[in-house]
Amino acid sequence: MISACSRKEEQITPSSQQESLVNVEGRDPNRLIREKSPYLLQHAYNPVQWYPWGEVALKAAKEKDLPIFLSIGYSTCHWCHVMERESFENEEIAKILNENFVPIKVDREERPDIDEIYMDAVQALTGSGGWPLSVFLTPQLEPFYGGTYFPPDDSYGRPGFKRVLQNITDSWKNRRDQIEKAGGQMIAHLEQVMQKGEFKEVWNSGILDAAYHQLNPQFDRFYGGFGDAPKFPRSMTLSFLLRYHRQKKEPFALQMVEMTLDGMMNGGIYDQLGGGFHRYATDEKWLVPHFEKMLYDNALLAKTYLEAYQITQKPQYARIARETLDSILRDMTDSQGGFYSAEDADSEGHEGLFYLWTKEEIEKIITKEEAEWIIAIYGVTSHGNFEGKNILHLSKPIDELAEERGISVEELWKKLEKPRKKLFEAREKRIHPHKDDKILVEWNGLMISAMAYGYQVLGETRYQDAARRSAEFILSNLKDKEGKLLRRYREKEAGLPPHLNDYAFFIQGLIDLYESTLEPHWLKEAMSLNQKMLELFWDSKEGGLFSTIPRADLIVRHKDAYDGAIPSGNSMAALNLLRLSEFTNDKELRKKAEAIFNAFGNLLEGSPSVYPQMLCAVDFAVDTPKEIVIAGEIGKGAERLVDIVYKIFIPNKILLLANERLDLPILKGKKPLEGKATAYVCENFTCDLPTTDPNVMKKQLLD
C-alpha cells in the first residue's frame, strides 16, 4: 500500500535522489536555487515557483492574499521524491499552484521547528502524519487542511493532489469564512497542545520500574526489538534498560538489550561489509532495511554497543561499535572535521542497489573456497532475499557458525577477513548513494559524544581525534560574534537560527569530550554554552525548555520531551544539567533539571517508556553519582587510573583531572600522594580514602 514516511520513530524511507541539478528542458530555476539545503536544491528546477520559508514568501502571501501551500520533506525521503516526480514536475499542477497559492518548500532537518508545528496540525486533522508533509495555510500561517503524500489523481484511496488544489482554490474564493474559522480553531488547538498539563513530581525509582514493566510485554522474544514490523533500533530504550539492569539487577532487562543488539548486528539492517546501520528494518527479523544511513542513528547505536561491551565484555559488541565509527570516519566526515548528515538509500535509481549482491557476482570476485565460506556465512542464495539479489546477513549467530566449522569465533573472523575486504573493495567501485553533506550542530553533537566514548572504551585515539576536530570545527565555524550557535554549515557558509537540540546535543558532546581528553577548555565551553542555552530557551513560567528562540514566523513556540528517533532537547538538557551540577556543585543547575522533570511529569507518568532519554536523566538524578578526581599528570601515571574508569559501565558519574586551570570546589585539596597519581572517589562530596593503587580504585568504583 502506498503511504508517506510515517512519523512513528521519525520513519525515513529511501529516496530517488537526483544525481545533479540540471536545467530541465531549458527551464529557468526557481527561488530555491540560492539555498544551501540539498533537499531544497533538488526542487530548484521544478516548474512550481517555490519560495523558501522566510520574510519574502510570507509577505507575498499577504500581499497577494493567497493561501500558502507548505511542503516539508528532506533529502532521503522516498515519497517526497515520488510526489515531486508526479506532481511538482507536472506542468498542469504547477500552473494551478503558481496561480492560486504561494508555494513554500522547507527542509525539516534545517527547520524542525516549522515541521513540529505543522506536523501537530496535520496529525490533529487526519490522525496520522509523515513526510512529505503537505499543509495549506492562511496568509496568517494558520493551518486549515493538510496531509502527507498526495498522488496526482485520485488513487490508492487518497484524493488526487490536482483535485485537492482545485477544491481549496474554490473554497478560498467562495467560502473563505469557513477556512479562516477552521484556521483559528487549529491555532487554538496547537496552543492547547503546547500546554503540557499539570506538573507532577514523579521522577523517582518507581517511574523507572513503570517504564520497564511497559517495555517488557512489547519485547519481541523471538527476534529482539519492540513491537511489530517495521522495527526501529530504539537505542535510547536499550541504554535505559542497561541502566535499569545496573540499578535493579534485573537480568531480563539485560537479556532484552543483548537479544536486540544481536538481532540487529546479525541482520541486514547492519552493513555487513562496510559497517554502520541503516535506518530501520521493514520486517520483524531485522533482515530487510530501508537502506539510508543517518548520522544520528549511527552515533546513538555505536554508544549503546559500547555500553553493552562495558557490561558484558563480549567482543562482538566492541567490533560492531568500531566498524560503525570507522564507517563514519570513512564515508561521512568532512575534510575540516564536521560530520555529514546522511547517505541515501538509492543509487542508479534503485533502492539498496549499492548494498545488494548476486551469488554469481560474489563467485567472480573471490576464490571458490572463499565464496563457499561467504555464501554459507552470509545466507547467499541463487534466488536472493530482496528483489532477486542478496542482502548480506549472518545466517546464524556467529558462535554457532564457528562451532559448526570446529573453529573459534576469532578464527572464523580471521578466515572471513580477506574475502570481506575483496568484496568491500569491489563495492567501492560501484556508484555510491548520494550524500547529504550539510553539517548540523545537533547531529554532530551526538557523534562527538559517540567518538569520545569510543576512545574511552576502545582506547583508539582516532576516535578522540575525530571528536576533537568536529568540536573545533563547530566552535570555529558555527558560533556567531555574540557567542550564539548557528545550526547548519554547507559549502563554506554557516547559517540558520539555533534550536534547543543544537545546544543540548553539542553540550553533551563537549562534556564527553572533556572526560575523554581531560582538557579543561572543553568543560568550560560546555558550561558557557549551557548558560547561553538557558538564556535562550528556558520557560520561566512553567519550567522546561522551548525548542526554539522566539520567532515572528512561528505561530506557537514548541516545547517537547518525546524521545523518538533522536532524544528530545529537554531530555538531553536535563542530563547535562545534572552532570554540570556535579562538576560545579551548582545546586541551581540541578533545580533546573528537576523543573524539566516536573514540567513533563504528567506525560512521564502516563507513558514513561516513550521518554527513554528522560529516564536516563531520572536514573542519574535518583542515583548517587560517583565523583571521580584523578590528581596527577597524563603520561606520568594518571592514565592508568583514568583507564580503569573508562572500562567500567558507570553511567552516573563525573570524571575530572585535577588542574589549576579549573577552579571547581570538587578539586580543592586533591593532590598526588607521594608524587604518584592519586584517585579520589567520592559521592555527595564525601570521599573514600585516596589511593594510588588501580585495584583499590576499581573496588571503590564498583562498591
Strand partners, 683: 626, 686
202-206, 259-263, 269-273, 465-469, range with the lowest pLDDT? 202-206
Q: Could you give the CA distance from residue 5 to residue 681 in angstroms, rounded to a whole number?
A: 49
CA dihedral 71, 75, 76, 78 (to 10 degrees): 40
- Whether the Cβ atoms of residue 466 and residue 319 lie closer than 8 Å to each other: no
SS3 149: coil
Q: Tens of pLDDT along 501-513?
A: 999 999 999 999 9
Compute the chain's Rg from CA coordinates.
Answer: 26
Q: Tens of pLDDT along 155-192?
A: 878 889 999 999 999 999 999 999 999 999 999 988 88
Note the pLDDT of residue 78: 79
Percent of the chain residues past pLDDT 70, beyond the cut: 96
CA dihedral 291, 295, 296, 297 (to 10 degrees): 30
Contacts 24+ apart (CB under 8 A), 120-128: 120/190, 120/193, 121/146, 121/186, 121/189, 121/190, 122/146, 122/147, 122/148, 123/7, 124/186, 124/189, 124/190, 124/193, 125/186, 128/6, 128/7
- Whether the Cβ atoms of residue 331 and residue 462 lie closer than 8 Å to each other: no
DSSP state of 85: I
Q: Is the pLDDT of residue 610 over 50?
A: yes
- Whether the Cβ atoms of residue 289 and residue 281 lie closer than 8 Å to each other: yes
Q: Could you give the CA distance from residue 559 to residue 562 in angstroms, rounded to a whole number?
A: 10
Q: How far is CA 53 from the centre of its chain?
A: 24
Q: Could you give the CA distance from residue 525 to residue 489 in angstroms, rounded to a whole number?
A: 20
Question: Within a 10 A sphere around the Cβ of 383, how many other Cβ atoms?
Answer: 9
Q: Is the pLDDT of residue 585 over 90?
A: yes
Spatial CB neighbours of 452, under 8 Å, sequence gap ≥ 6: 463, 464, 467, 509, 512, 513, 515, 516, 517
Note the pLDDT of residue 156: 77
Note the pLDDT of residue 193: 74
- Whether the Cβ atoms of residue 462 and residue 450 lie closer than 8 Å to each other: no
Q: Is the pLDDT of residue 2 over 50?
A: no
Question: Within a 10 A sphere around the Cβ of 659, how many other Cβ atoms?
Answer: 16
Note the pLDDT of residue 684: 82
Cis amide prior to 419 (ω within 30 degrees): no
The three grid cell numbers given for residue 148, joined into one nine-digit string: 502527507
**Band of residue 8 on the pLDDT scale cut at 50, 70, 90:** very low
Note the pLDDT of residue 485: 98
Whether the pTM exceeds 0.85: the reply is: yes
Q: Could you give the CA distance from residue 614 to residue 203 in angstroms, rounded to a whole number?
A: 10
Domain segments of the chain: what residues? Answer: 5-194, 353-432, 626-702
**Band of residue 471 on the pLDDT scale cut at 50, 70, 90:** very high
State the CATH architecture for 5-194.
3-Layer(aba) Sandwich (3.40)
Q: Is the pLDDT of residue 668 over 50?
A: yes
Q: Tens of pLDDT along 350-394?
A: 889 999 999 999 999 999 999 999 999 999 999 999 999 999 999
Mean pLDDT of 235-251: 97
Residue type for 603, please?
L
**Three-state helix/strand/coil letters over 529-564:** HHHHHHHHHECCCCCCECCECCCCCCCCCCCCCCCC
Note the pLDDT of residue 350: 87
Spatial CB neighbours of 178, under 8 Å, sequence gap ≥ 6: 171
Average pLDDT, the chain: 94
Which residue in this structure is represented by grid cell 490536482? 162
Q: What is the DSSP string of 491-526?
A: TTEEES--BHHHHHHHHHHHHHHHHHH--HHHHHHH
Q: What is the DSSP string of 214-267?
A: HHHHHB-TTT-SBSSSSB---HHHHHHHHHHHHHH--HHHHHHHHHHHHHHHHS
C-alpha distances in Å from residue 82, one per residue of 67, 76, 151, 215, 349: 24, 12, 9, 36, 12
Q: Could you give the CA distance from residue 604 to residue 618 in angstroms, rounded to a whole number?
A: 11
C-alpha distances in Å from residue 366, one per residue of 88, 412, 432: 46, 17, 21
- Whether the Cβ atoms of residue 569 and residue 560 lie closer than 8 Å to each other: yes
Mean pLDDT of 248-276: 98
Q: Tens of pLDDT along 23-41?
A: 555 789 999 999 999 999 9
Length of the chain: 703
Residue 92 region by backbone torsions, left for phi larger than 0, else alpha for psi between -120 and 50, else beta: alpha
- Whether the Cβ atoms of residue 546 and residue 570 lie closer than 8 Å to each other: no
Q: Is the pLDDT of residue 6 over 80?
A: no
Q: Is the pLDDT of residue 7 over 60?
A: no
Report which of 355, 342, 346 is spatially closest to residue 299, judged by C-alpha positions: 342
Q: Could you give the CA distance from residue 577 to residue 530 in angstroms, rounded to a whole number?
A: 8
Report which of 5, 69, 82, 7 is spatially closest to residue 42, judged by C-alpha positions: 82
Q: Could you give the CA distance from residue 134 to residue 144 in angstroms, rounded to a whole number?
A: 11
Residue type for 327, please?
S
